Amino acid sequence: MKNFQKTILFTFLLVAFTAFAQNPPAPANAVKVTGKLIEQESKQPLEFATVTIQRLDNTTVTGGLTGADGSYNLQVAPGTYNIKFDFISFKSTAISAKQITGDTNLGTTAMAPDATVLDAVEITAERSTVEIKLDKRVYTVGNDMMVRGGTVSDVLDNVPSLSVDAEGNVALRGNQSVTILIDGRPSNLAGSNVAEVLRLLPADSVDKVEVITNPSARYDAEGGGGIVNIILKKGKANGFNGSVIANTGDPENHGLSTNLNYRSENFNIFSNLGYNYRNNPGNSFTNSEYLDQDTNETTSFTNERRTNDRLRKGFNASFGLEWFLSKTFTWTNSVNFRRNTGSNPAKTYYDNYDAGYNFLNTRFRFNDEDSKESNVNYSTSFTKKFNDKGHELKLDASVSKNIDDEDAYISDQILNTADTSNNTYERTFNDQDETRGLIQADYVLPIGEKSRFEAGYRGSFSELETDARAETLTDGAYVNNPNYTNYLQYKEKVNALYAQYGSKVGKFSYFMGLRWEDSNIDVNLLTTGDYNKKRYNNFFPSGVFSYEFSQSSNISLSYSRRINRPRGRFLNPFSGLSSNINIFRGNPDINPSKTHAIDLGYLKKWSKVTLNTSAYMNITDDTFQFVRQQSGQTSNGVPITLTTPINLAKEYRFGFEFNVNYNPFKWWRINNNFNFYRNETKGDYTFSYVDDTGATVNDFQDFNNTAYSWTARVNSKITLPYKIDWQLNGNYEGPQNNAQGRRRGQFGLNTALSKDLLKDKATVALNVQDIFNSRKMRVETYIPNQVSSYSEMQWRVRQVTLSFTYRFNMNKSDRQKEQQQRGQDGGEGEYMGG
* pLDDT per 10-residue tile (average), the chain, 834 residues: 43 37 58 87 72 83 78 89 79 86 89 50 39 69 64 78 74 82 62 62 78 87 84 69 89 91 87 90 94 91 94 91 92 93 94 95 94 93 90 94 93 88 89 93 92 95 92 92 88 96 91 95 89 92 91 89 86 73 82 92 87 92 82 75 83 92 88 92 78 72 87 90 90 89 92 88 90 93 90 92 83 43 36 33
Positive or negative: CA dihedral 19, 20, 21, 26 = positive
Q: Which residues in 449-592 belong to E strands, given as ranges?
A: 451-474, 477-480, 486-505, 508-525, 530-550, 553-564, 582-584
> What span, in angstroms and rounded, lies between the C-alpha atoms of 629 and 822?
50
Angle at 458 between CA 457 and CA 463, to 5 degrees: 155
> What span, in angstroms and rounded, lies between the C-alpha atoms of 173 and 352?
40
> What span, in angstroms and rounded, lies between the C-alpha atoms of 511 and 214?
12
DSSP 11: H
What pLDDT was estimated at residue 1?
45
Q: Catalogue the long-range contacts made by 632-637 (C-beta closer than 8 Å, 24 or more residues apart).
A: 632/689, 632/690, 632/691, 632/692, 632/697, 633/692, 634/692, 635/580, 635/581, 636/363, 636/422, 637/300, 637/352
In this structure, what are the phi and psi dihedrals at residue 205, rounded to the nearest 5 degrees? -85, -5
Enter the pTM of the model: 0.73
What pLDDT was estimated at residue 42?
63
CATH class of 2-112: mainly beta
Give alpha helix (H) positions in 560-602: none
Cα 643 to chain centroid, rounded: 25
SS3 770: coil
Positive or negative: CA dihedral 701, 702, 708, 710 = positive
CB contact at 8 A, 661 and 114: no
Beta bridge partners of 290: 300, 787
> What span, in angstroms and rounded, lies between the C-alpha atoms of 305 and 291?
21
> What span, in angstroms and rounded, lies between the C-alpha atoms of 229 and 224?
15
What is the number of H-type helices and E-type strands within the chain? 5, 46
SS3 8: helix
CA dihedral 693, 694, 700, 703 (to 10 degrees): 90
The domain segmentation of the chain, as residue ranges, is: 2-112, 119-232, 239-805
Q: 825, 675, 662, 657: which is closest to 210 by C-alpha?
A: 825
Cα 157 to chain centroid, rounded: 10
CATH number 1.20.140.10 given to 239-805: no
What pLDDT was estimated at residue 8?
39
CB contact at 8 A, 144 and 767: no
Q: Is 727 left (phi over 0), alpha (psi -120 to 50) or beta?
A: beta
What pLDDT was estimated at residue 126?
39
> What is the length of the chain?
834
Beta bridge partners of 74: 33
In this structure, what are the phi and psi dihedrals at residue 593, rounded to the nearest 5 degrees? -105, 155
Q: Which residues contact 447 (CB under 8 A, 6 or more apart)?
A: 453, 503
CATH class of 119-232: mainly beta
* Residue 708: C-alpha distances to residues 596, 733, 738, 790 (Å): 20, 12, 10, 20
